[in-house]
């Protein structure tokens, strides 16, 4: 469990998420708060990208495999100028481009349409293989949920990435130890988690997923081995930043969010 | 047919650097020459088909034209979500080479019979569904497949099927092929059903009944224009396919004919596997015969339909 204090940028990004949520009155709050620092560091410090040319060939590819965490991704994409921030006001609206799961055909900067779990890593492996064929040095980052790692296709892809020694590929698991029904330990225990990835041929590091400096240092060390794909197990807290939502399954997916709940979230973020 | 299909992938890949081959755990030596000559574009990734489809999607997103080969049931049943989401939703250029469409694997039992693959693939937006009748048509199709935009499901028959097609020009995806025209009966078919229908037409001709044969090597996009034109001249229409009668070529015909009111003065029948998991073994031809997918049974079905055709409607004065 992490007890990391949030800095102002982390708080501001959470406020963007809450305002987005407020208009739609729904969203996966817990998942977004859990992985926001991972995205923040990726987009602020790690990824090569160009919002003016989202399909620029030299970009690094970043896939949010746990598509339900998209409120965090949207906050960063808007922040970086992929689309006007006003678009956030149309989250889940009929005339908007931002759905409850990210759609690559609609949202600039979204590499793959996800939401059905277990799809991101296989696609990431295919992209990494393509970079290798083309002798390009773009890197591929796939952000997975821990609950998502129940899916067999994740391990099929891990096996494949390990076989090919895809050092350009990094799997990042948002390991908040909760899934929709209950704790991962209760529903489908993933431990020994780091050993699982190692046994599939990954070089693995574990990090506090809310500690911005630690995340930066971890990403800077990529690839962890010259001939292996990398896995980052980011220990996080579901709902991090709003004490009453932390590890509270009622906030996994929330609909009919009230103005009072919005105010409570904003107040809690201020105190985080 | 399969051998020619894969051989064509190799030949196309030699001159087109976009082309990549992805296989599951295929037979010893499959496409050994591809692996030898273009190892960086050859992938054999094991009995992990869901991953295979995702990997193919990732490769295609980066501009490759991906030919993915494994058994039809695994592509259609096991990987349906990957096919729907990774391939169709992203509308990427992946060609699914599906071994053993229909009842090719009759000796191996229901786990290996792809008797509903056309129906489930046809339901997916952006997916093209193709079932060539013989090896020559397969080769013509493969050349047409390279620059098609979007995913394609390629239904591959057993192999060593008799050559029954006669076309030599370029294969046009989405176009039906009239093999015989004119007559009271229209036999509509796809894949190896063509050889059955041509033989059935011969049998009907021997009995004095002229039958047209309209072959649909592409089931989706469905050539409604050709169906309409040929149906108009017929009194009875029989759709023949090595597939469940639910949702395949016969289903596509029924939907169109009913919606365009072409059935008011015509009889129509679907011939194929009924709504069962075939429970016997034997071989492909035997299983097809068992379910009426044979020249004799198709001719008999057509004759029965003709004798039962609706009487002209009399409008009271």
Inter-chain CB proximity A125 and B81 less than 8 Å: no
The yes-or-no verdict on residue A26 having pLDDT over 70 is: yes
The string of pLDDT tens digits covering residues A76-135 is: 999 999 999 999 999 999 999 999 999 999 999 999 999 999 999 999 999 999 999 999
Total of domains in chain A: 1
Residues B192-206: tens digit of each pLDDT? 999 999 999 999 999
A84 touches chain B (CB under 8 A): no
Q: CB neighbours (10 Å) of residue A182?
A: 10
A2 lies in a domain? no
Nearest-neighbour CA in chain A from B242: distance (Å): 31
Interface test with A, best of B13, B50, B55 (most A CBs within 10 A): B55
CA distance A236 to A31: 10
Cβ atoms B98, B87 nearer than 8 A: no
Closest CA to B249 of B117, B144, B156, B142: B117
Pick among B34, B54, B125 to test the A interface (most A CBs inside 10 A): B54
| Cβ distance of A130 and B46 shorter than 8 Å | no
Q: What is the span of the domain harbouring residue A142?
A: 8-271
Q: Is residue A3 part of a domain?
A: no
Q: Is B92 helix (H, G, I), strand (E, B) or coil?
A: coil
CATH class for the region spanning B177-308 = alpha beta
Contact B54 A113 (CB under 8 A): no
- Other CB atoms within 10 A of residue A226 CB: 8
Q: Tell whether the model's pLDDT for residue A1 goes beyond 60.
A: no
CB neighbours of B21 closer than 8 A, spacing ≥ 6?
A: B9, B10, B13, B31, B34, B41, B42, B43, B66, B67, B68, B69
Q: Is B86 part of the contact surface with chain A (CB cutoff 8 Å)?
A: yes
> Is the dihedral angle over the CA atoms A128, A129, A131, A135 positive or is it negative?
positive
Spatial distance between the Cα atoms of B60 and B93, rounded to a whole number of angstroms = 6
CB contact under 8 A, A113 and B40: no
pLDDT of the residue at B310: 62
**Coil vs helix vs strand at A257:** coil
Inter-chain CB proximity A126 and B56 less than 8 Å: yes
Q: What is the pTM of this model?
A: 0.96
Per-residue pLDDT tens listing for chain B (317 residues):
999 999 999 999 999 999 999 999 999 999 999 999 999 999 999 999 999 999 999 999 999 999 999 999 999 999 999 999 999 999 999 999 999 999 999 999 999 999 999 999 999 999 999 999 999 999 999 999 999 999 999 999 977 789 999 999 999 999 999 999 999 999 999 999 999 999 999 999 999 999 999 999 999 999 999 999 999 999 999 999 999 999 999 999 999 999 999 999 899 999 999 999 998 899 999 999 999 999 999 999 999 999 987 665 566 65
User: What three-state secondary structure class fits B32?
Assistant: helix
Smallest Cα distance from A125 to chain B, Å = 6
Enumerate the residues of chain B whose CB falls inside 8 A of the CB of residue A107. none
Q: Where are the domains of chain B?
A: 1-156, 177-308
Is the fold of B1-156 the same as that of B177-308?
yes
**Cα–Cα dist A143/A73, whole Å:** 11
Give Cα separations from B85 to A18, A104, B90, B209, B295 (angstroms). Answer: 29, 11, 7, 47, 40
**CATH code (residue A205):** 3.40.50.970
Closest in B54, B63, B64 to A123, CB measured: B54
**B13 near A CB under 8 A:** no
Residue A102 lies in a domain: yes
Query: Mutation test of the interface with chain B: which of A60, A61, A65, A123, choosing the one with the most B Cβ atoms within 10 A?
Result: A123
**Rounded Cα–Cα distance for residues A155 and A149 (Å):** 8
3-class secondary structure, A11:
helix
Burial A75-91 (b: 16+ CB within 10 A, else e): bbbbbeebbeeebbeeb
State residue B180 phi and psi, 5-degree precision: -140, 140
Residue A123 touches chain B, beta carbons under 8 Å: yes
Confidence grade of residue A210 (pLDDT, cut at 50, 70, 90): very high
CATH dotted code for B1-156: 3.40.50.970
Count other Cβ atoms within 10 Å, centred on residue B74: 21
Of A127, A130, A156, the CB nearest to B48: A156
Tens-digit pLDDT profile for residues B89-147: 999 999 999 999 999 999 999 999 999 999 999 999 999 999 999 999 999 999 999 99
Percentage of chain A exceeding pLDDT 70: 99
- Whether residue A130 and residue B51 make contact (CB cut-off 8 A), yes or no, is no
Q: Does B83 touch chain A (CB under 8 A)?
A: no
Given a cut of 90, is residue A154 above it in pLDDT?
Answer: yes
- Closest chain B residue to A112, measured at CA: B90
The answer to whether A262 touches A254, Cβ cutoff 8 Å, is no
Residues 159-178 of A with CB under 8 A from B: 159-160, 163
């Amino acid at each position: 469990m992490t007890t990391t204090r949030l800095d102002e940028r982390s708080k501001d990004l959470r406020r963007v998420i809450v305002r987005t949520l407020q208009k739609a009155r729904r969203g996966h709050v817990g998942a977004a708060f859990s992985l926001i620092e991972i995205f923040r560091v990726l987009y602020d410090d790690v990824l090569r990208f160009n919002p003016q040319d989202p399909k620029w060939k030299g970009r690094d590819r970043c896939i949010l495999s746990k598509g339900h965490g998209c409120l965090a991704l949207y906050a960063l994409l808007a922040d970086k100028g992929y689309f006007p921030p006003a678009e956030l006001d149309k989250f889940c609206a009929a005339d908007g481009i931002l759905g409850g799961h990210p759609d690559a055909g609609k949202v600039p900067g979204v590499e793959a349409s996800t939401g059905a779990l277990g799809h991101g890593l296989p696609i990431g492996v295919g992209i990494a293989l393509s970079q290798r064929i083309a002798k390009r040095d773009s890197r591929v980052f796939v952000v997975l949920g821990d609950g998502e790692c129940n899916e067999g296709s994740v391990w099929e892809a891990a096996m494949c990435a390990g076989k090919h020694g895809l050092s350009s590929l990094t799997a990042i698991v948002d390991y908040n130890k909760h899934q929709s029904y209950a704790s991962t330990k209760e529903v489908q225990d993933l431990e020994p988690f780091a050993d699982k990835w190692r046994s599939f041929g990954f070089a693995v590091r574990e990090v506090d997923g809310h500690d911005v400096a630690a995340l930066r240092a971890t990403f800077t060390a990529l690839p962890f081995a010259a001939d292996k794909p990398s896995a980052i197990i980011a220990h996080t807290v579901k709902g991090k930043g709003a004490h009453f939502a932390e590890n509270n399954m009622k906030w996994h997916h929330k609909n009919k969010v009230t103005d009072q709940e919005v105010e409570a979230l904003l107040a809690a973020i201020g105190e985080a | 047919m399969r051998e020619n299909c894969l051989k064509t992938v190799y030949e196309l890949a030699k001159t087109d650097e976009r082309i990549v081959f992805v296989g599951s755990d295929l037979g010893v030596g499959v496409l050994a020459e591809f692996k030898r000559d273009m190892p960086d574009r050859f992938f054999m990734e094991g009995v992990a088909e869901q991953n295979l489809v995702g990997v193919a999607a990732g490769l295609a997103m980066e501009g490759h034209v991906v030919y993915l080969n494994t058994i039809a049931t695994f592509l259609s049943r096991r990987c349906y979500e990957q096919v729907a989401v990774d391939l169709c939703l992203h509308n990427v250029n992946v060609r699914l080479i599906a071994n053993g469409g229909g009842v090719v694997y009759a000796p191996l039992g229901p786990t290996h019979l792809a008797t509903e693959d056309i129906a489930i693939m046809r339901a997916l937006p952006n997916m093209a569904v193709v079932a060539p009748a013989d090896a020559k048509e397969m080769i013509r199709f493969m050349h047409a497949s390279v620059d098609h935009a979007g995913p394609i499901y390629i239904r591959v028959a057993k192999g060593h099927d008799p050559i029954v097609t006669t076309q030599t020009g370029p294969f046009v995806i989405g176009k039906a092929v009239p093999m015989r025209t004119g007559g009271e009966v229209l036999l509509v078919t796809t894949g190896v059903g063509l050889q059955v229908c041509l033989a059935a037409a011969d049998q009907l001709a021997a009995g004095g009944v002229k039958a047209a044969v309209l072959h649909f090597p592409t089931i989706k996009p469905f050539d409604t224009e050709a169906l309409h034109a040929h149906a108009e001249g017929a009194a009875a229409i029989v759709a023949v396919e090595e597939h469940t009668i639910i949702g395949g070529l016969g289903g596509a015909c029924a939907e169109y004919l009913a919606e365009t009111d072409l059935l008011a003065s015509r009889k129509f029948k679907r011939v194929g596997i009924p709504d069962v998991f075939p429970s016997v073994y034997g071989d492909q031809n035997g299983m097809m015969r068992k379910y009426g997918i044979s020249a004799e049974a198709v001719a008999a079905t057509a004759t029965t339909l003709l004798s039962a055709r609706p009487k002209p409607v009399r409008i009271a004065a």
